[in-house]
Amino acid sequence: MSSFNDKLKGNWNVIKGSLKQKYAELTDDDLAYEEGKEDELLGRLQKKVGDTRENLKSFINNVG
């Protein structure tokens, strides 16, 4: 498991709040996190907000 996935798992509530602040259009369904489905989550976020996977990962890595 990557450190990115560890970060998601360990800090999801903080990350989720930061994502909602930055991207107001995200819903709780968009932000549904399931362990082992991190790539699916990133794809869903990328499609919804129109940002790159790399930018989303960078934002998440810098939260908390």
Residue 39: other Cβ atoms inside 10 A: 10
CB 30 within 8 A of CB 48: yes
For residue range 22-56, list pLDDT tens digits in order. 999 999 999 999 999 999 999 999 999 999 999 99
Q: What is the pTM of this model?
A: 0.86
Residue 6 has φ and ψ, to the nearest 5°, of -60, -40
pLDDT at res. 1? 55
Q: Which domains does the chain have, with CATH numbers?
A: 3-62 (1.10.1470)
